[in-house]
Structure formats: structure tokens, C-alpha cells
Structure 1
Amino acid sequence: MESSKRNIYSFKFKDPDLRSLRSLISQMHPVYRINFGKNYGNLLSILNQQVDHTALITLAQFYDLPLRCFTFQDFQLAPTLEEFERLIRIPMKDKSLFEGTDESFPLEDIASALHMDEKEAKDNLETKGNTKGFSLSFLLERAHTLLKAESWDACYSAIALAIYGIILFPNMDGFIDMTAICVFLTRNPVPTLLADVYYHISHRYTKKKGLIACCAPLLYQWFLEHLPKTDLSWYSKEYINADIIFSCGDFPNLPLIGTQGCVNANPVLSLRQLGYPMEGPPEANSLEAFLLLDFGAENPSLFQRIKEAWKNVNRKGKAELGRANGITKEPYFQWVKERVQIIKMPFVIRTPIPLPEPKLTHVPIEEMEELKATMAKLEKENEELQTKLQQTINEKNNMKWELERKEAQLQAHVEKFNKEEHKRKKIKVGLEQADHCLDTLKGQLRQAQNECQDNERWWHLATKENKIIRDTLGAQIKELTNSVRQAKAEVDQERRLKKIATEASRVSPMVWEEKCREVRDARESVSYWKNQLESLRQDNSIWLKERDYVIEDYESFKKTIDFLQGDRDKFRAKLDGLVGFCNWAAKDLPWRLRDAVEELKEDSTPPAIINFVLLCKGLLKRFNEELEELQARKPAV
């Protein structure tokens, strides 16, 4: 008999150790966490999301490989770009798309994005496996340092890259590979995250087991969004007016590029969960499936076609999809049920057994009132117990988080102690090696000292012999020098004699007589000039005596001039006094004389006085006339 359910596959989701990263975030003030979210979206919520891996493994059992969705008994769920964008809160619009890992990515771009210099980036870029990247310990240590220094932009970038490499795109434990770095630099992780979910689940579903290395916290958050809270609601009203990316380029659905390969998604199956009506089954060509491994190593044309398709994104909104009312019609339900019959469910759905109808019993009204009071009391106690339970749960969670934080601190202290112990051992080994090297150097030094002593002894001997040789050679050189000087003098004497003899042999009698006459004339000229010189010397002696007489006369005249200069000053002073007196007389006497004349009386003044006054008047008039004449004669200065 054919089984009514399909096989259960052995899946496992990657569960990285996030304690150190969470401990780092717990040290940040809430204000700085909010600022982190402004630049890097909802990454901290993804980091702190507690994941129920059993629920995810159960969800993976319902995966419908050909349709790229999760098919349940009477409905389907499929993650979409819009849902992931809302959960992670990093917009996709106007951002570049991840198109594969580039191991030769420019180092300056990586350093600039992480706010570090190129040398630091180059020194800490490690190679692990066949890829390059940063270790988680380096990024956490750098983030701790920047956190203490309050260099927030650089700190945020280090934390964000760590989350990208460990949570969003996990590959190797404790290592952020170049793929995660490339996605981080695009600042557009949403398409890659969705691609990884479909790619890894599809790939593992074909293998029927294995590790699903996608972002488990994000997938778990998406799944929780679709679980009913109070009433059954199939869609979120946040997507009612949003445009949905339906396809790209010439693809009938959505081609996606992940970190390991390419895969398709079928947004047409997500209309119901986004609030749009489902009229019936989707068209078959809109569900065309492909799974491209290793970025198209076997089919490069398809990979190139996918990259080109994203240059032409096709969106549909309310006008194309209809009114957002969440209505699903029977043809769609029928199609889903038929699909369930084909692929079967991973678990047997048991039909609930109907309970027998309860028999009616008559209860007195007093007993009913008592029961109501008891029920009210029990409800009140239940509420109190629930409140206490919630408080206990909160306390338990707080204690759990505190314990985890202390464990993280203890682990950090243990690691620090281990590092210090390792450093101490290395220092000890280094000191021992240094002591050994020092002993070796001491032996070499002693050997060198002995060699130096031997060399010094030989040097003294060589110096002594060198001195003897130098003295001997010096005496020989001196003797040779004297011999050379004497020989040179003899050669010069011979050369002069030879020259004289040569010149004498060339002189004729007439020339000789001419030369003799020239000599006599020269002697006479010399005698004449000697006489002239003697005459000049005598004249010079006479003129020197005359000069002495002139100097004596000059000294005498100088004394006379000095004496007369003194008399001149005295006479000038007297003259100045006389001039002053004359000026006074010329100024005041006329007035006084006029007053005296006016007071003269002919009958009472003696004639002698009158005559004297008239005489003074005449003298004054003459004095003024002479002064005016002198003023006229005085030359202009």
C-alpha cells in the first residue's frame, strides 16, 4: 500500500556562536544602538533573535522543490524580497546587486568602508581555505577598541561586517570571507539573502540531507510573521500599497544570485500572503525553475543572462494585481489540494475524533451562584498566578541573559588569561633563547679578545720593524735627495756656461765694439743720473729745512689768531652792550625828551636848562640819522 506521507529528511541549520558578539552589543548605550540601526537597518534584531531550530527543520520538510515555496495542506508560503526588506529594514532601491565573489576586490575600497588604513587592512586580511577575509576575533577586538574610543562610524562598520559574515552569510566559523565582504560593500543584502534561502534549501532538498547555510534568524523571523497571533490572518496590511517585484528581464519569474549560486523564486505564489486575491492556479510558465551551481561554471550564458535581467526589473502593484482583500477562490484551493496529493505531506494529518454531546443536568441557582463566585475567584487567582509567572519568566530571562553575559565575560577573561599565559611562555622561551645567544656571544667575545691580543702583539712587532725600515729608507732618501740637488746644480752651471759660450761664439768684432759702446753710454748715463739724484737729495734737504721754518711761523700765527679771537669776543660783547644802550636811547629818550620839553616853562625854567634840553634834542636827532645811515650801509647777511 502506498504511503500517505513523504519521507522526512535530515536537515540542519547553521547555528554560529554569537555570545561574544552579543556581549559586545550589550555594552553599547541604547542611543548608539539606535544610531547603528540608522545606518545598518535591523541587523541587531537579527543578531538577538532566538531561533527555534526544530521549527525551522520542520518548516523545511514542507518545502516544495519544483514550486520554490512551502506547501501546506491548504495554503502556500514563499519568502519575498519585500518581506525580507521590511524585516531587515535595508532598502534595495538604487543600489548595486551582488554578482559574485571578487577575490581581487580593491583593498582601498575595503579599507574605506571599514574606516581603516590600507596597511591595517592588508596586515589583517587572512587566507582560509580558498578565500580571503577577516577573522571574527580581529573585528571584535577592533570594535571593542573603537567602542572605548567612541569612534562610532568605524565601530559600527566593524560590527556590521561581523554580522554579515557570521549571521547573514555564514560560511566558516569565526571567519568573515570575501563573499560576505563583497555583499557588505554593495549595501544591498536583501536579494542575496533571499537567494541563499531558496538556493540552500533547494540544493539540500536534492541531496535529501545536509546543512542549510542560510540566515536562520531571518528565516525564523519571517516564519513567525505568518503564524496567527489572535485570529487567523493570511496577510500583512503593510504590503497593500507596495509594488511587488514580479520578474526581471525576459525571465517569467524572479532570478536570484546568491553567495554559492543562482536560483529562481516565484513571487506569483506569494500574492495571498501579501494581501492580493488568488483567483486560481498560476500559469505554468511563471513557475519555470532553475538551479545554477558555482555561478554558472557549467552554463556561463545563463549566469550572464541573469545579471543582464536585473537591469530591467518588472514591478506590479494594485492596478495590475487587483484590490488587496486577501480573498482566495476555490480554484486555487483545489489546485493546492491536488498539489498536496502529488507531493504528499511530511506528517500524517489526523482527523480529530468528535466528542460526545454532554448531557444536560439541572443545577440549583444557589449552587450556580456559588460556582460563579468560585470561578471568579479562580480566575482572579489565575490572573495573579499568570502575572507572577510572567514576572518569574522575566526574572528567569534576565538571570539567563545576565548569566550569559557573565559567562561571556568569564570566557573573555579566560581567553585573556590564556593569551597572557601564552605570551608569558613565549617570553620565557625568548629569554632562554636570549640567554643561550648571550652565552654564545660571550664565548665569541672571549675568542675575539684573544684574537685581538694576538693581533695587537703582531701589530707592535710590525710597527717596530716598520720604524726601523722607515728610518733606514729616510736616510737613504735624504742622501739621494742631496745627490740629486747637487747633480741638478752642476747641470744648471754647465747649462749657463754652455749658453755663455754659445753666445760668445756668435759675436763678431763689430758687434763686440757696438756692445762696448753701449756699455760705455750706459755707464755715462748711470753717472749722470747719480749726479741728478745727489742734487735732488740736496734740494730735498733744503726744502725740508724751509718746511720746518714754515711750520714754526704757522704755529706763531696760530697763537696770535687765538689771542685775537679772545679779544674779538670781548669787543663783540662790549659792542653788543653799546648797541643795546643805543637802542634803548633811541627808543626811550625821544619820549622822555618830549615830556621834558612839554613841561618847560619860559618864565620859570632857567635858560641854561632849556638850552641843555634843546642840545640833547639836537644830539638825539643826529644820533638817529647816523643810525639810519649805518643801517642803510649794513650789508645783507
Structure 2
Amino acid sequence: MDCGRRNTKKYSFRCPDLKESRKRASFILDPLDFKKRHGKLLSILSTDVVEGLLSVLVQFYDPLYLCFTFPDFQLVPTLEEYSHLLGIHVSSRVPFSGLEEIPRYHLIAEALHLKKSEIEAHWVKKGGLFGLPSDFLIKEATAFAQAGSVDAFEVIFVLLIYGLTLFPNIEGFVDVNAIRLFLIGNPMPTLLGGGINYNPALACRQLGFPVRGKPSNTLLEGIFYQEGKDPQHLKPKIMHAWHNVHRKGRFELGPCNCVALEAYTLWVRKRALEFKMPYPCERPMSMVVVEPLTLPNQDVEQLEDALVKMKQEKDMWEERFHALSKKHEELQLESKDKDALIELLEGRIVDQLVLEKTQMKASFETEIRRIRRNYASLSRSSNVVRDP
């Protein structure tokens, strides 16, 4: 029975203008040191959004179960994946719920190395949320960078990445939620529990645990609310649930083997048919039992010769495979050595630049002192001449 196909839908994705923020990345002199303190925020900032790929992927999104459904498996965004992408460890607590008070001006100013009056002057409201314009933050970050204030530049630069890349809301605006997350310093698990759909009952297989059958309807129940429109007061309930997570281990989930039993795969295929996922459903292949044949002696000899040739060819390809594998390992080791050399050279270059800067500063200060001494000597000489 042909159930038909669901029509594909066209989606538009928010692509914030990051040109000015990316330009400021050139002020970071030591990317490796920056990565140690802030994770992979630089790589996130330089990543371009490919709308075509997102448009294709979103066609497989199943809004009922809050996951991506494919012919015989499902994928769910998880905390661990976001943690790997950002290079930031998953926090064992919920650092942000959205119910917190707006941070005070002096706290924001202190964190950004700015004056309280500057925050007050630029604190505006857009789209129902307070925040700071990105052009103001970019201007201040540039001024700190040009003045050599590395720490002050970095904190504002990181805030811009939080507000414009990780949590974009309004074009050219860093809203108060992004500022709150920045002040906390750890957006995990807010990226997933503060605004991204998450159905952990369907994530067992991709986390390495077996899936024996269809999860219960209670575990698959979805909850949705819109900010500012919450007549059922769902948001406090959701925040309460995130503060009272029940952890499961191998005793409940079983040994790691990534096995999915037929009861689960049949349920996934049925769901795909019901939702009319945009791919053709393949019919299962039926097994045909064939009676064994008796071959004449001549055919047996030919078959044995063919098997010998096949074995020889197999041995030849195995030798080539081992040779290529060995070459691949050698190239990998050579690549690691080159990476280590590059990292060492980068460190030496930075050290050399710091040394040269120190020497120039010392030379400059020595010259200033010499000029001052000469000026003082001339002044004393002038006084002697004028006062006979």
C-alpha cells in the first residue's frame, strides 16, 4: 500500500553578520592559550552555516518525538555532542534556568572592564529583552585590543561570540540571556536544556546502549511552551525537572553494544510511514531456499582452479593493503611531528615577539630618562646664566 510522500518544506535560518567579530579574532596572539580558557569558541565563530545542508536535514525532523527519524534509526542531539563541539565540559548542575533576575549594571561593568555609567548609557530593550548593542561592544573590544589590554579585550570578545553566535536572537544585539550565560561562564547544559528539544529515551542507541523495543509513551511525551505565553506555567516545571535529574547506569541500560532489536526497528519504520518521511521505503527482501546442485568433475576442477586464482589475488591485495596501511601510519607519524614542530615554532615566535617588545620598552624608557637628564641639566645652566 502506497502511503504517499510528505511534501518537503522550505525553511529560512538565521545567519547573523559576523564579519566585524571575525576581524577582531586577529587580535588574539595565542589561539592555543585562548582555547585552553574558552574552548573551541574561535572555531565556532569561523564556521559558516550551509543552509542547503540544514534544509535537507530538517526534512527528517520528527516534531512528535523531537528527533531526526531515518529508515531504521533515529538521532537525537545530546549534551555530549554539544560539549565536544564547543570544547566545554558538561556541567553536573543546571547553571541557567531563565528565571534569574537581570544582572546589575555594576556586575556587568566589572566583568567587562567597563564603567557602570557606560553600561547604563547603552542598556536598551529590543524584542522584549534588555541587552547591549553589538556595535558598542565591538568598539570597546577594539579599543582595549589597540591599547594592549588583553584580558579586557578577551572578555568582551567572548561575550560577542555568546550573543551573536551561540545564542543569536536579534540582529546586532546581545540580549540579557546571553549576558547571563557569559557571566556564569559555562553554557552546558543550557544549550540543550535551555532551548533545544531533547528526548533522552531515544538517545540510548547512539550513546552505545541497546534498544530492545519501542519506548513507553510516557517517556516520549513532548512539552512545548512559548516565551511570554505560558498559561500552564510549564517553564517552572521544566526547570524543576532539570534540577532533579534521575541518572541511569549500566544496571538499567544494559551492556554497551549498540544493538537495536527488531521490535524497535519495526516501530521506527512504522513511524516513518505515518509521518511520510522524504525517502522511499524499501520493501524487506524475502529469502529463497535453493536446493544444492551436483556438479560434474570437470566443473569441479574449473571451480577449484578459479578458487586458487581468487586466493592468489586475495593474497596480493592483502599485501598491498598492508603496505598502504604501513605507509598511512608513517604519514600520520610524520604529520604529528610536523604539527608538534609548528606548535613549537609558533611558541618561539610569540616568545621572541614578547622579548623584542620588552627590549623596546626598556630602550624607550632609557632614552626618556636620558632626555630628562639633559633637559634638567640645560635648565640648571640657563638659571645660572640668568642669575649672575
TM-score band, normalised by shorter chain: 0.5 to 0.7
Cα deviation 1:17-53 (Å, max 9, x = unaligned): 1122112113422x2x222222322111111112221
How far does residue 158 in structure 1 lie from its aligned partner after superposition?
Answer: 0.6
Question: In structure 2, do the counterparts of structure 1 residues 83 and 295 end up closer, same or farther at CA, with 3 Å as the change threshold?
Answer: farther
Question: In structure 2, do the counterparts of structure 1 residues 347 and 327 end up closer, same or farther at CA, with 3 Å as the change threshold?
Answer: closer
Partner of 2:360: none
Partner of 2:23: 23
- Amino acid in the other structure paired with 1:178: V
Equivalent of 2:219, from 276, 286, 303?
286
Equivalent of 1:310, from 232, 242, 265?
242
Q: Is the CA contact (8 Å cut-off) linking 1:11 and 1:57 kept in structure 2? A: yes
How far does residue 163 in structure 1 lie from its aligned partner after superposition?
Answer: 0.9
- Amino acid in the other structure paired with 2:6: R
Q: Is the CA contact (8 Å cut-off) linking 1:95 and 1:187 kept in structure 2? A: no
After TM superposition, the structure 1 = structure 2 runs for residues 274-423 of structure 1, keeping only pairs within 5 Å, are 274-294=207-227, 297-300=230-233, 302-348=234-280
- Amino acid in the other structure paired with 1:24: R
How far does residue 280 in structure 1 lie from its aligned partner after superposition?
Answer: 1.8
- Amino acid in the other structure paired with 1:329: L
| Partner Cα distance (1:101, 1:166) in 2 | 22
Cα deviation 1:258-302 (Å, max 9, x = unaligned): 3xxxx75211211111222222221221111110112563122x3
Partner of 1:87: 85
| Partner Cα distance (1:329, 1:102) in 2 | 44
Partner of 1:12: 12
| Partner Cα distance (1:92, 1:109) in 2 | 25
| Partner Cα distance (2:93, 2:198) in 1 | 20
- Amino acid in the other structure paired with 2:114: M
Q: The residue matched to 1:176 in structure 2 has which SS? A: strand
Q: Is the CA contact (8 Å cut-off) linking 1:4 and 1:348 kept in structure 2? A: no
Partner of 1:531: none
Q: The residue matched to 1:292 in structure 2 has which SS? A: coil
How far does residue 132 in structure 1 lie from its aligned partner after superposition?
Answer: 2.2
How far does residue 59 in structure 1 lie from its aligned partner after superposition?
Answer: 0.7
How far does residue 113 in structure 1 lie from its aligned partner after superposition?
Answer: 2.1
Equivalent of 1:61, from 44, 53, 59?
59
- Amino acid in the other structure paired with 1:111: A
Cα deviation 1:515-563 (Å, max 9, x = unaligned): xxxxxxxxxxxxxxxxxxxxxxxxxxxxxxxxxxxxxxxxxxxxxxxxx
| Partner Cα distance (1:319, 1:130) in 2 | 47
Partner of 1:475: none
After TM superposition, the structure 1 = structure 2 runs for residues 254-265 of structure 1, keeping only pairs within 5 Å, are 256-258=193-195, 265=198
Question: In structure 2, do the counterparts of structure 1 residues 303 and 295 end up closer, same or farther at CA, with 3 Å as the change threshold?
Answer: farther
How far does residue 101 in structure 1 lie from its aligned partner after superposition?
Answer: 6.4
Cα deviation 1:182-221 (Å, max 9, x = unaligned): 2222323233322xxxxxxxxxxxxxxxxxxxxxxxxxxx
| Partner Cα distance (2:180, 2:206) in 1 | 32
Partner of 1:573: none
Question: In structure 2, do the counterparts of structure 1 residues 326 and 173 end up closer, same or farther at CA, with 3 Å as the change threshold?
Answer: same
Equivalent of 1:271, from 180, 204, 219?
204
Q: Is the CA contact (8 Å cut-off) linking 2:91 and 2:188 kept in structure 1? A: no
| Partner Cα distance (1:152, 1:94) in 2 | 31
Unaligned runs of 5+ residues in structure 1 are 195-255, 352-637
Q: Is the CA contact (8 Å cut-off) linking 2:122 and 2:132 kept in structure 1? A: yes
Question: In structure 2, do the counterparts of structure 1 residues 315 and 102 end up closer, same or farther at CA, with 3 Å as the change threshold?
Answer: closer
| Partner Cα distance (1:150, 1:321) in 2 | 53
TM-score (norm 1): 0.42
How far does residue 180 in structure 1 lie from its aligned partner after superposition?
Answer: 1.6
Higher mean C-alpha deviation, range 177-186 or range 89-98: 89-98
Count the aligned residue pairs: 283
Cα deviation 1:362-387 (Å, max 9, x = unaligned): xxxxxxxxxxxxxxxxxxxxxxxxxx
Q: The residue matched to 1:291 in structure 2 has which SS? A: coil
Q: Is the CA contact (8 Å cut-off) linking 1:165 and 1:176 kept in structure 2? A: yes
| Partner Cα distance (1:60, 1:113) in 2 | 38
| Partner Cα distance (1:142, 1:299) in 2 | 43
How far does residue 129 in structure 1 lie from its aligned partner after superposition?
Answer: 4.1
How far does residue 85 in structure 1 lie from its aligned partner after superposition?
Answer: 1.6
Unaligned runs of 5+ residues in structure 2 are 284-388
Q: Is the CA contact (8 Å cut-off) linking 2:205 and 2:211 kept in structure 1? A: yes
Equivalent of 1:116, from 114, 117, 120?
114
- Give me the identity figure in percent: 40
After TM superposition, the structure 1 = structure 2 runs for residues 143-292 of structure 1, keeping only pairs within 5 Å, are 143-194=141-192, 256-258=193-195, 265-292=198-225
